[in-house]
């Protein structure tokens, strides 16, 4: 019986498969969909309500010997601070819950590291680094970390703002490719959020539609605001060799289908790696498919190392030639041939759909 699934295309696989052969996504444990909108998390096993009738014992009292208890914390109080409301999802490292901060009544999202990893110094260090990095972020298009907590028995968790909305991946699946009028403002907002991170010498390294939340915003031109999520793979450009050791836990750092050539090769990264990933996201946003084709994650990686992505207008001929040129430049194999910053890429996206000087004159 299949027990793992692709979070993007929902294809199912038998263990020990780890990647989807169709799109290269990291597989998660097979599960029903989450029961409502909120902070994005990879997967949901549908057991968020299992503990509704359980005794109101502290979760930390029963986690060290029962890792599966993390899947059913609804109704419990975490660390005497957070009333757990319902589970939002789970990934390879953690469970994510919607909770209420007892002191303020504020809704938050709590990301709890699974006990197995809590006992691993490298995993704990990675989570601490995630919190340290993300607490420095302060931008409307980035989701920050509010607090890093640890219970008396060393259960470690992160607290983040709870965002009503849906991941870009779900929006795409439901509505299909974006029209230019909606897609360009979204991409510019993502550029602005990542540009803020890059100014702090932080690169994301795992940009993909699942990591962009669309939050309703009546003041935004399209009615929603793009928020870049999950800086768990974020890396400071000044980071030393100790950061590399954090991969020893077996956690895949990055999503194969969105990795830049230099990331695939394990080379040093800078903000231009995020530029590349955003170009892949933009291609998919407007066409519904990826710019590199292959029968497996490995084949698509090789295609990226060799270059030669599909041209945007090969897939969708009604899109502007200028936009095709922008995405092609951002997808250059050599980082030096791409846009040098998110600000430059954002300006290029805007210019790709502007009428230009002559167009403005004719419209007068």
Residues 6+ apart with CB under 8 A from 237: 201, 202, 203, 269, 270
pLDDT of residue 65: 40
Task: Give, in order, the Cα–Cα distances in Å from 228 to each of 25, 78, 142.
Answer: 19, 26, 5
Enzyme catalytic residues: 206
Reported as a pLDDT band with limits 50, 70 and 90, residue 280 is very high
Q: What is the pLDDT of residue 232?
A: 56
Query: Rounded to whole angstroms, what are the CA distances from 303 to 68, 260, 300?
Result: 40, 11, 5
Mean pLDDT of 38-64: 38
Both tokens of residue 301? Answer: 């990686």
What is the edge-to-edge ordering of all strands in the sheet holding 94-101?
Answer: 77-78, 82-90, 94-101, 107-113, 156-161, 147-150
CA-atom Rg of the chain in angstroms: 21
The answer to whether 232 and 130 are in contact (CB under 8 A) is yes
Find the mean pLDDT for residues 161-188: 93
In this predicted model, which residue has the larger pLDDT, 245 or 225?
225
Residue 138 has pLDDT above 50, yes or no: yes
**What's the angle, vertex CA 92, arms to CA 278 and CA 29, rounded to 5?**
100
The reported pLDDT for the residue numbered 40 is: 42
What CA–CA distance (Å, rounded) separates 56 from 62? 12
CATH H-level superfamily of 32-161: Phosphorylase Kinase; domain 1 (3.30.200.20)
Contact 87, 52 (CB under 8 A): no
Please say whether the structural domain 166-358 has been given the CATH code 3.40.50.970. no
Give me the helix-helix angle, 271-287 and 342-352, nearest 10°: 30
Q: Convert the pLDDT of each residue in 76-116 to its tens digit.
A: 999 999 999 999 887 766 788 999 999 999 999 998 877 77
The average pLDDT across 7-27 equals 63
* CA angle 74–47–36, rounded 5-degree value: 80
Helix residue ranges, H only, the chain: 115-118, 121-134, 168-175, 180-199, 241-244, 261-264, 271-287, 297-306, 312-315, 321-330, 342-352, 356-362
Domains of the chain: which residue ranges? Answer: 1-30, 32-161, 166-358
| pLDDT classification of 121: cutoffs 50, 70, 90 | confident
- pLDDT(31) > 50: no
- Considering Cα of 115, then 78, then 126, then 186, what sign does the dihedral take? positive
Among 236, 292, 286, 230, residue whose Cα is nearest residue 259: 292
The answer, yes or no, to whether the previous bond of 156 is cis (omega within 30 of 0) is no
Q: What is the pTM of this model?
A: 0.73
- Rounded Cα–Cα distance for residues 224 and 169 (Å): 15
Highest mean pLDDT among 61-65, 136-140, 258-262, 278-282: 278-282
Strands 156-161 and 166-167: unpaired
Looking at residue 128, what is its pLDDT?
75
In angstroms, the CA 8 to CA 23 distance is 8
pLDDT at 127 (0 to 100)? 67
Contact 44/89 with Cβ under 8 angstroms? yes
Give the pLDDT band of residue 190 (cuts 50, 70, 90): very high
Share of the chain above pLDDT 90, in %: 42
Check whether 15 has a pLDDT greater than 80: no
Query: What is the pLDDT, as a whole number, of residue 206?
Result: 87
- Please give the Cα distance from 356 to 363 (Å, whole number): 11
Mean pLDDT throughout 118-131? 72
Distance of alpha carbon 188 from alpha carbon 183, whole angstroms:
9
């Amino acid at each position: 019986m299949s027990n793992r699934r692709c979070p993007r295309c929902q294809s199912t696989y038998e263990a020990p498969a780890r990647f989807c052969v169709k799109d290269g996504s990291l597989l998660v444990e097979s599960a029903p969909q989450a029961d409502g909108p909120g902070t994005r998390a990879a997967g949901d096993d549908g057991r968020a309500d299992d503990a509704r009738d359980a005794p109101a014992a502290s979760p930390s009292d029963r986690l060290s010997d029962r890792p599966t208890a993390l899947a059913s914390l609804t109704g419990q109080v975490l660390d005497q601070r957070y009333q757990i409301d319902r589970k939002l999802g789970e990934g390879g490292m953690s469970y994510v819950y919607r909770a209420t901060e007892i002191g303020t009544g504020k809704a938050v999202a709590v990301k709890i590291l699974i006990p197995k990893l809590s006992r691993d110094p490298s995993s704990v260090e990675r989570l601490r680094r995630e919190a340290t990095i993300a607490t420095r972020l302060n931008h409307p298009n980035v989701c920050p970390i509010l607090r890093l907590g640890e219970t008396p028995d060393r259960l470690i968790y992160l607290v983040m703002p709870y965002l009503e909305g849906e991941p870009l991946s779900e929006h795409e699946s439901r509505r299909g490719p974006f029209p230019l009028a909606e897609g360009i403002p979204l991409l510019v907002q993502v550029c602005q959020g990542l540009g803020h991170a890059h100014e702090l010498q932080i690169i994301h390294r795992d940009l993909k539609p699942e990591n962009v939340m669309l939050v309703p915003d009546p003041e935004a031109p399209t009615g929603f605001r793009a928020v870049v999520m999950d800086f768990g793979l974020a890396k400071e450009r000044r980071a030393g060799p100790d950061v590399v050791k954090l991969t020893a836990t077996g956690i895949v750092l990055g999503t194969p289908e969105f990795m830049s050539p230099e990331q695939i090769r394990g080379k040093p990264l800078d903000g231009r790696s995020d530029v590349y990933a955003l170009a892949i996201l933009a291609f998919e946003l407007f066409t519904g498919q990826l710019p590199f084709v292959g029968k497996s994650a490995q084949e698509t990686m090789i295609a990226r190392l060799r270059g030669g992505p599909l041209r945007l207008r090969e897939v969708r001929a009604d899109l502007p030639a200028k936009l095709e040129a922008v995405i092609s430049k951002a997808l250059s194999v050599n980082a030096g041939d791409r846009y040098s910053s998110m600000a430059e890429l954002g300006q290029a996206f805007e210019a790709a759909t502007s009428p230009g000087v002559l167009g403005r004159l004719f419209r007068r």
